[in-house]
Structure 1
Amino acid sequence: MENKEEHLKQIDVLAIAKEMKKHKKQYLIALPVTFVLSCLLILCVPRYYTSTAKLAPEISSFSSSSLGDIASSFGFDIGGNSANGDAIFPELYPELIESNDFMVGMFDVKVKSKDGSINTTYYDYLANHHKYPWWMTGIQTVRKWFAEPDTTVVKSKKANPFLLTKQQDEIVKLMMDNIKCNIDKKNYVISISVEDQDPLICATLADTVQAKLQDFITDYRTKKAKKDLEYYKKLSSDAKSKYERIRQQYGSYSDANQDVVLESYRLKANDMENEMQLLYNTYTSLQAQVQQAQAKLLMQTPAFTTLQSASVPLKPAGPKRMLFVLGMTVLVFLIISIYSTRKIIFGEME
């Protein structure tokens, strides 16, 4: 029984091979044509590079009693500290980077290509120097023919995130596709990846996005502390001016009435001395508040450890040209094989 089944399988394989051999001409025509067309097609797609930077919050102490406060000072909320809740959690950093405000802030970043032929802003680079496949260029040209004219009124050369022009909106969408931010929810490692057609511009953008994200988080975390510090500094400066003014008045009054023994003069001198002492106490108290505000500002300033710095990639990340050509060739081979042996394959299935 087993010999009969093996014999049937051999017959089936031989039948399939014979059927495929009958369509040898189709293979000889289709496979070389597919290979050539795949090569021509994939060669039109510009190569791109990827550069990645990784950051982590710098936490030196893991005491259970102060872990919530420490994590909060670095922009993280791990619970147990509702009084100092943070509105921007690490999970929101990708949305932050994809916002119009953040992307528009990248327009004026200076970029330079590796060969030195391009030296301009990132916006101008994407608008005038970014390469597209020929079919994408054709589609964009046709879309421009039928597109309605842009009626957005531009009052300033500086881009307005609230009111973007059509071209600016397209550039922002392209930037969103090129710049990605991922957060590891287990250890809150921040990964910033930038994709671009030039390796040097790719690394430059990754480093710039990293710096801008750090600056934004730092400004957000320290905004209130900075306002408090400025407020106490102003109060301290005003108190110091008042103290110095009354001190000069008291000194001048004492010098002018040093030999006077009238009680009214002595009482006025005592009143001025008491007022001077009160102003001095106020000034010293405000100085202590200034020092506390400086300490609070330092405590709430987030620190980051760079786990992986952005570097210029040596090899392109894509497209995988050999794999694409091989895949298309194998796909056509399978299609022809299934088509040529369909009667045998589907006949046996029935």
Structure 2
Amino acid sequence: MQVLRKIDLGRCWFLIKTHKKLFIITEICAATIALVIGFSIPRTYQATVKLAPETSGGGLSGSISALSSMMGMKVGNMMDEDAISPELYPDVKSSPDFLLGLSKVQIQTLDNKVATDYKTYLAKHTKTTWWNSLISKISPKDKDSTIKKQELKDNHIIQLSLNDYLLLKNIDDAITCTTDKKTGVITISVIDQDPKVAALMVDSVRSRLQNFITGYRTQKARNDVEYFTKRYEEANKEYKNAAARYATYSDAHQDLSLESYKVENDNLENEMQLAYNIKSEYATKLELAKAKVSEQTPVYTIVQTPMVPVKHIAPRRSIILLMWLFLGFVISFLLAQKKTPVNIVLKEQV
């Protein structure tokens, strides 16, 4: 059985003509509300930057492995990949530390009238809708508006006031970061009421995200560089001391032929040679660690340079108007139908 439900358009048209005044008044009210809402929402602009990360590939890694093998060394975990997954980039940009850093970025508006940090700009130099202003006035005030960073034992925590929590949430909501899984291109966008501020902030987000990823990828290698630098300096100092002891003893006993002097001289020479070998090994490991830092440092190509947007992306007043006109029509139709029920003709086909 197939059932077709069909609205009798003729009767619907009759309903509209019968309650024409109701439809006109409702549509006028809906249009007025739409215009009030549309012109109350501040204009916003979107700036975008696209990055293409270039991996260093296996060339340098293969060279390091070949060098270490040639010298009879095993770098082991030094060659492990410390890459951060692109899927984590949105989590990085939403982290409190990252957002706190962005709140301190210096910005300047397009008309050059405002030049301050991003936090002050958002708090004092941005517009809001009248209903949001009304809500903020009747909401309880948060007297403590400072950002505190406290240290508890070995753990660092961030304590935010309600105002600052909402501020960081607004910053987070204004930033979008996506990664194309096929091409690997990272797209970062920032929405703001001022086009120049949007462009400045998207460039700052790009720079800070690059620095974070670079620091993350090279952290272990940089720790290795620091460790082997200390070990090399200690080994070099020990070698110099051993060489000085050997030289002093040899100079003082060069004319003596006693076997005991020769044995002591050989022992000092062996100590010096051992110290030299240890120093050379740490020197090689230090160079390998430095090469690893270069290998792990990502290179980014800017596919799309951030530009100051010319056209706003919101509010779309025409869409708001159409939505409210449609809503007004539906409300009018339901009210008219309640006053004069319209029979819905159902035709059944078996």
After TM superposition, the score normalised by the length of structure 2 is 0.78
The superposition leaves residues 44-65 of structure 1 with CA deviations (integer Å, 9 ceiling, x where unpaired) of 11111111222233147699xx
The corresponding residue for 2:3 is none
Aligned mates of 2:308, 2:149 — CA distance in 1 = 38
SS of the residue corresponding to residue 139 of structure 2 reads helix
Larger relative contact order (Cα-Cα within 8 Å, sequence gap ≥ 6): 2
Aligned-pair CA distance for 1:116: 1.2
SS of the residue corresponding to residue 305 of structure 1 reads strand
Alignment pair present for 1:181 and 2:174: no
Aligned mates of 2:139, 2:28 — CA distance in 1 = 35
Alignment pair present for 1:109 and 2:119: no
Aligned mates of 1:204, 1:342 — CA distance in 2 = 56
The corresponding residue for 1:315 is 311
Aligned-pair CA distance for 1:293: 1.1
Residue in structure 1 matching 2:277, options 278, 281, 299: 281
Aligned mates of 2:161, 2:39 — CA distance in 1 = 33
328-337 or 184-193, larger mean C-alpha shift: 328-337
Residue in structure 2 matching 1:91, options 79, 87, 94: 87
Which residues of structure 1 form unaligned runs of 5+?
1-8, 70-82
Alpha carbons of 1:213 and 1:154: their partners in 2 closer, same or farther (altered >3 Å)?
A: closer
Aligned-pair CA distance for 1:197: 0.9
- Equivalenced residues, count: 319
The corresponding residue for 1:201 is 197
* Contact in 1 for aligned 2:56/2:296 (Cα 8 Å): no
Aligned-pair CA distance for 1:257: 4.8
Alignment pair present for 1:127 and 2:123: yes
Aligned mates of 1:305, 1:88 — CA distance in 2 = 18
Aligned mates of 1:282, 1:211 — CA distance in 2 = 41
Alignment pair present for 1:295 and 2:281: no
283-292 or 187-196, larger mean C-alpha shift: 187-196
Q: Which amino acid aligns with 2:168?
A: V
* Contact in 1 for aligned 2:30/2:327 (Cα 8 Å): no
Q: Percent identity?
A: 36
Aligned mates of 2:192, 2:181 — CA distance in 1 = 27
Q: Which amino acid aligns with 1:46?
A: P
Alignment pair present for 1:170 and 2:166: yes
SS of the residue corresponding to residue 144 of structure 1 reads coil
The corresponding residue for 1:347 is 343
Q: Which amino acid aligns with 2:280?
A: T
Alignment pair present for 1:216 and 2:212: yes
Structural mapping, 1:1-350, within 5 Å:
16-17=12-13, 19-59=15-55, 84=80, 88-144=84-140, 154=148, 162-260=158-256, 264-337=260-333, 339-340=335-336, 346-349=342-345
15-24 or 267-276, larger mean C-alpha shift: 15-24
